[in-house]
Structure 1
């Protein structure tokens, strides 16, 4: 049983001041939440897809109704720019709309003729309670991404959100229930890591999904594998963005700067390593520096701020250490790098040059507004460097020849997502996920809705 009064505070990263105090659930309360979710699932799974879709569609509407409240809370809890919080809620509402409108087609039974005569049906049945462990960087979207698909499929959903966005998790639960989702079908668990492992092992939990670091992914996969639970993992990355010899360099420089600092540089699928061919390197370098220097660091509630604070003090300290270690191994700061004095966990837009293997700026994920600039000999060398990573979530290619860029993306880029002449986050109708140490499984685009279902074979054989 958890000790009495064991809890934590949420902290406003722009000021360093406490927002709210939360108590961890007792072990018994957490176990009861799983049981309640399972019992709610037993009724929800019997609803038709059309009945579920009405509720899912209404969740999107209620999300928009609470947009102002939600975006302000996200900014308060993790430092997101208000305007980007608004974009996040719009995306979440779009996911609800897309899922509701396409669910009947995605979950429809499939009829198949059997080789020796008879009738076969493949049905996509919900499996039970799906447990999601989610990070803080997109407090609404990360939870929406897996939960809406799982609920639409007929499952129950548990959410362990990052502690620093606990208020956002509870607001989401309120919104779901206000929209008509049955009570207990979506439940927030305020628990620690040890309790979380017990939830994975609970026999009523049938699937586990995690978005987080590769170390967290390995831990969760090991626990889940030990009790034969399916997992979906969306982990970190150090996405390479290639600027090829025929790129529109000014477009590339502007877009790469935006891609690096979006969401305060704290995005799994953000542009992080900028790999530029020698023939356009100097031109790109100058333009990229100007764009990165022009980014205004400031209060995330102010309209003219381009970059807010990092979400937690320990995350800023880790980034500072990664930059220092990279410099100790030959990297140079070309832009930024000076931590401002005063309250809040701010870090400026920064560019590192002379980045090479053996440095965190090359090998690891820098989860903050630090760009790694790397020179390549030619287009082929640029692709080699991009793939020279243990990660494989996303990446980008800048080229005026879109057809060529598409072919390179399809045949040679070893990632789950590739953006051409742009940077991006997610689209409701396109798969989201990675390869290598960036995880496995897919969300969105009809793929996520079938991750936690039983593809059941029902056969009537001719005698």
Structure 2
């Protein structure tokens, strides 16, 4: 039985199986991608942009079909699934629209006579290893900028996302990109390691767990390959002051429950100053408890199932361990199959596993702090450093706190504010690179200096 299968987490039904690639099929995919590189590199930026723009159009034309695929694959509520398809289209279109900026020469000021520029040249075949939590968005933010600069792509999607993987590959094919420009492979982990090591592959991008990132980086390092890592997060949501606490709580719930709580940059630790703590906890717990759990195809569902029964079991084990070690469950805390209700923990201390773990599901831990300084210390006391959220009515305080937070992203008085133009990435154990924005196109290029004398 293949590892690549669609198993609907809402019902437990194994819907379809996709055959794992043979070694010969993997070799053929790399051959096609390597052979396509000279042609794709030589394609004018305008024509590459036209191809990407057509891919974006196909996302929109097929949005309902694409959305229902990922509802089946990983339980995302339908409205959110449609939103993800639209965002993937926006990202792809963004790189088509900005292709001149990311491929044009960058003039340099020099002391001597003549001129100098930095010219960005593609590297060749890139290998992407993608996760299940955002099947279209994650692929778009890796593939679109790298295809724009002239690289070609071999992509291994998560084993539970074979149908969306095939749908993405079909869009790139139907958009008229040359054969081999985008290759989908249903590879095993062992085959993935061989792909990383293949001398024709010039770089690898991984979005996933720390374990996956470390394993791939080890192979890439042995083979002197550039590796981009987008890993986990335990993002702080800091509440320092509020004119409208209800609005802050609503933002906190949105930031925690997005994607059924399975977002790397979802708010996971809620750090609240003493004078707001009791009111915030009461309102936050009530709102988390009220979030409707149900059929991901239903219009009023807020929380569908987690991505799999195994994911729900892992999350339940984390909750149970936190309670055994002294934490308190305020609301929720008990799964029903793959469904986990909105859950709030308090009393988490540095001695507990939960203090440093990432809860990948609808679980939020609320902490009381005395002041701004303690809030910053607690926010930074984590092995992760992906995103963060600061809510305050004091603009100077907001900037002061933002400067001190050890994270790749800080959102002030805003949640779910990601855009195609905003670079995404973290520090510490959250990763080593940036995706989205113009910075994404600099990850896998040769920044070649061309110096012309007088």
Structure 2: tracts of 5 or more residues without a match = none
Q: 2 CA distance for matches of 1:291 and 1:80? A: 20
Which residue in the other structure is 1:198 paired with? 194
Q: 1 CA distance for matches of 2:275 and 2:84? A: 38
What do residues 271-321 of structure 1 show as CA deviations (whole Å, max 9, x unaligned)? Answer: 100011111101101111111111000000000111000001111111111
Cα shift at 1:28: 1.7
Which residue in the other structure is 2:134 paired with? 138
Cα shift at 1:111: 2.9
Cα shift at 1:425: 5.9
Let me know the Cα RMSD of the aligned residues: 1.3
Q: 2 CA distance for matches of 1:73 and 1:430? A: 27
Which residue in the other structure is 2:92 paired with? 96
Please, which of 387, 395, 419 is the counterpart of residue 402 of structure 1?
395
Q: 2 CA distance for matches of 1:8 and 1:143? A: 17
User: Does the 8 A contact of 1:431 with 1:444 survive in 2?
Assistant: yes
Q: Normalising to structure 1: TM-score of the pair?
A: 0.96
1:323 correspondence with 2:319:
yes
Please, which of 427, 430, 440 is the counterpart of residue 435 of structure 1?
427
Q: 2 CA distance for matches of 1:425 and 1:355? A: 28
Please, which of 260, 268, 273 is the counterpart of residue 272 of structure 1?
268
Please, which of 349, 369, 374 is the counterpart of residue 356 of structure 1?
349
User: Does the 8 A contact of 1:264 with 1:309 survive in 2?
Assistant: yes
User: Does the 8 A contact of 2:123 with 2:444 survive in 1?
Assistant: yes
Q: 1 CA distance for matches of 2:71 and 2:242? A: 39
Cα shift at 1:403: 4.1
Q: 2 CA distance for matches of 1:357 and 1:211? A: 28
Q: 1 CA distance for matches of 2:2 and 2:74? A: 22
Q: Secondary structure at the match of 2:98?
A: helix
Moved more, 246-255 or 204-213: 246-255
Which residue in the other structure is 1:16 paired with? 12
Q: Normalising to structure 2: TM-score of the pair?
A: 0.97
Q: Secondary structure at the match of 2:24?
A: helix
Q: 1 CA distance for matches of 2:431 and 2:293? A: 32
Which residue in the other structure is 2:145 paired with? 149
Please, which of 365, 378, 387 is the counterpart of residue 385 of structure 1?
378
Alignment of 1:9-408 (within 5 A): 9-112=5-108, 114-246=110-242, 248-340=244-336, 344-408=337-401
Q: 2 CA distance for matches of 1:331 and 1:7? A: 37
Q: 1 CA distance for matches of 2:407 and 2:107? A: 34
User: Does the 8 A contact of 1:245 with 1:379 survive in 2?
Assistant: no
Cα shift at 1:176: 1.3
Cα shift at 1:259: 1.1
Give the direction of change, closer, same or farther, for the CA distance of 1:160–1:244 in structure 2 (3 Å limit): same
Cα shift at 1:115: 2.9
Cα shift at 1:424: 2.1
Please, which of 423, 437, 441 is the counterpart of residue 445 of structure 1?
437
Cα shift at 1:401: 2.1
TM superposition outliers: structure 1 runs of 4+ over 4 Å = 5-8
Moved more, 166-175 or 119-128: 119-128
Cα shift at 1:116: 3.1
Q: 2 CA distance for matches of 1:316 and 1:358? A: 24
What do residues 327-357 of structure 1 show as CA deviations (whole Å, max 9, x unaligned)? Answer: 11110100011222xxx51111100111111
Structure 1: tracts of 5 or more residues without a match = none
Give the direction of change, closer, same or farther, for the CA distance of 1:88–1:402 in structure 2 (3 Å limit): farther
User: Does the 8 A contact of 1:360 with 1:366 survive in 2?
Assistant: no
Q: 2 CA distance for matches of 1:455 and 1:63? A: 32
Moved more, 7-16 or 443-452: 7-16
